[in-house]
Structure 1
């Protein structure tokens, strides 16, 4: 397969059976020190504890043996515990190295955006290390706008920036077709955070 257009990628809901591959992709991202402040991928219960699993998807394609292989994953988490913010979520996207250039991240983010609107959410945020230009460009290509930068949000204990305080660029998108976009009163999202 030579181009993103020729690759057949299935974006489907994540299940616990996917987690060994999801965890491997997460850990490899963590190992770079450029994806998150965390250092070790959690077990399934830890992974799902603060995520909205109705908004968790994997990108999958068939390998040369015809078996499904996960290329990446995307999830959403509540931005806070207050009911007034129940319609605002934050995305998390990880892609395997072998998926580079296949359009996987964009397809997953598109699916997440589409499903978030269907479930009644009205806003999506993303927190990205400033050096992660690829992620910033991906979000901007999906109509996210940079709304600010937090400085010294967390202390890095691993990676090339170990021992440094790092900040994040904050991006936001008001979801097309969601209640805030239409200017109507929201109903509680179906996966409303507690």
Structure 2
């Protein structure tokens, strides 16, 4: 997938230092994840569905990462093999360029190819940008989990966090009975 100023390609190990930098920008906001630290490449590549891992890069150099997207299984239970949770992070300097929408579109396309039937996204209610992005791609708010975790750091120190669950149902794959 391309745009006049960026292209989307599979995420590689060589991209990972920039992926971590972008992830840490999200961590610094206090509105992106419950995690406190970026995982190692080994951990990241073992918990993500790597066929769904993509980066948007500057078209001019094909190496400057503007953002990334991946999916991970929501459960290890076999009955949920078609349901994934997305992760999407955009470098602050790349916002407003269509990067997030293009990455999420690519993820949806690949999840359909992989015969997934739902994508979930856990979004803090304060993360307006992520809510609007997901809503623009047909995700619907499925519910809110209250008091999920007490955040022990950052600007929201000591506050319990709610999490909204957003869901996009994909076409049902043909599964033999």
Q: Does 2:33 align with 1:36?
A: yes
CA RMSD of aligned residues (A): 1.8
The answer to whether the 8 Å contact 1:146/1:172 transfers is yes
DSSP 3-state at the match of 2:44: helix
DSSP 3-state at the match of 1:126: strand
Q: Does 2:144 align with 1:149?
A: yes
TM-score normalised according to structure 1 size:
0.85
DSSP 3-state at the match of 1:49: helix
Kindly indicate whether structure 1 or structure 2 has the higher relative contact order, using CA contacts under 8 Å at least 6 residues apart. 1
The answer to whether the 8 Å contact 1:120/1:186 transfers is no
DSSP 3-state at the match of 2:64: strand
- The correspondence of residues 106-145 of structure 1 with structure 2, limited to 5 A, is 106-145=101-140
Q: Does 2:165 align with 1:170?
A: yes
Rounded to whole Å, the distance in 1 between the matches of 2:93 and 2:116 is 32
Q: Which residue of 1 aligns with 2:23?
A: 26
- Cα gap change, 1:178 to 1:68, in 2 (>3 Å): same
- Cα gap change, 1:121 to 1:152, in 2 (>3 Å): same
Cα deviation, 1:111-148, whole Å, max 9, x if unaligned, reads 00000100111111000000001111111111111010
> Can you give the 5+ residue segments of structure 2 that lack an aligned partner in the other structure?
none
The answer to whether the 8 Å contact 2:47/2:72 transfers is yes
Question: How many pairs does the alignment contain?
Answer: 176
Cα deviation, 1:43-63, whole Å, max 9, x if unaligned, reads 111222311111100000146
Q: Which residue of 2 aligns with 1:192?
A: none
Q: Which of 8, 14, 18 in structure 2 is aligned with 1:11?
A: 8
- The correspondence of residues 76-95 of structure 1 with structure 2, limited to 5 A, is 76-95=71-90
Q: Which moved more, 1:124-133 or 1:67-76?
A: 67-76
- The correspondence of residues 183-194 of structure 1 with structure 2, limited to 5 A, is 184-185=174-175
The answer to whether the 8 Å contact 2:143/2:165 transfers is yes
Q: What displacement does 1:167 show?
A: 1.2
Q: What displacement does 1:185 show?
A: 2.7
- Cα gap change, 1:83 to 1:31, in 2 (>3 Å): same
